[in-house]
């Protein structure tokens, strides 16, 4: 019997159920710009459309698209907004 040492981190990803899609948009909507070129164009237009519906919008921005969002940023969004729209662009 050949015995090997595990080369992995020996952690299993935690599976969590996706949150229910909100039945209607209400509360503050977060628009997160990941800092890719032209992501702001897409989010500007979304903001206009959401404002037409009388919804409140808060804008957020990741420092760099190539780095994961800082924890503080994620906490801010979670604390202040009901829904987040994240824009990828180029």
Partner 1 sequence: MHELPEGLLAIVKRDCPTCALVTPVLARLAAERAATVAYEDDEPGLELSFRVGTEIVPTLVRLSSGREVGRVFGWNREEWRAFTGIADLGAELPANRPGCGSRTLEPGMPAKLAVRYGTAAFKSKTIEVPQGMDEAEWCFEQGWTDGLPIVAPTEERVYAMLQGTRRRSDALLGAIPPNFAECTVEKAAINAVMAGCKPEYLPVVLTAIEAALLPAFGLHGILATTNAVGPVIMVNGPIARAIGMNAKGNALGQGNRANASIGRALQLVVRNVGGGRPGEIDRAVFGNPGKYTFCFAEDESDPRWESFAVERGFSRNASTVTLFPGDGVNPVIDHVSRRPEDLVKTYAGCLRALYNPGQVNDVSAFLVVAGEHANVFYEAGWSKARLRVALLERLWVSMDEVVEGRSGKLQMNAEELGQPRAPKFRTGSLNIVRAGGAAGKYSAIISGLGSKGINPVIKEIQP
Q: Which of 54, 68, 72, 79 binds partner 1 (CB under 8 A)?
A: 68
Instruction: Count CA atoms within 13 Å of residue 63 on its CB side.
Output: 8
Q: State the number of binding residues for partner 1 (CB under 8 A).
A: 20
The partner residues of 59 in beta bridges, in order of sequence, read 31
Is 36 in contact with 89 (CB distance < 8 Å)?
yes
Question: Binding mask 7-46 vs partner 1 (x if CB under 8 A, - otherwise)?
Answer: xxxxx-x-----------------------xx--x-----
Minimum separation from the CB atom of position 53 to partner 1 (A): 27
From residue 87, alpha-carbon distances to 35, 55, 74 in Å are 9, 18, 15
How far is residue 86's CA from residue 32's CA, in Å, rounded to a whole number?
A: 5
Binding segment (CB under 8 A) for partner 1, from list 20-28, 52-60, 66-74, 76-84: 66-74
| Cβ nearer to partner 1, comparing 6 with 52 | 6
Is 62 in contact with 69 (CB distance < 8 Å)?
yes
> Where on the chain is the footprint of partner 1 (CB under 8 A)?
1-11, 13, 37-38, 41, 64-68
């Amino acid at each position: 019997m050949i015995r090997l040492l595990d080369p992995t981190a020996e952690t299993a990803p935690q599976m969590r159920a996706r949150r229910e899609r909100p039945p209607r948009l209400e509360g503050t909507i977060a628009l997160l710009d990941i800092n890719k070129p032209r992501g702001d164009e897409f989010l500007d237009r979304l903001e206009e459309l959401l404002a037409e519906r009388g919804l409140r919008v808060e804008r957020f921005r990741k420092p760099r698209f190539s780095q994961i969002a800082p924890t503080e940023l994620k906490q801010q969004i979670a604390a202040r907004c009901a829904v987040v729209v994240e824009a990828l662009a180029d």
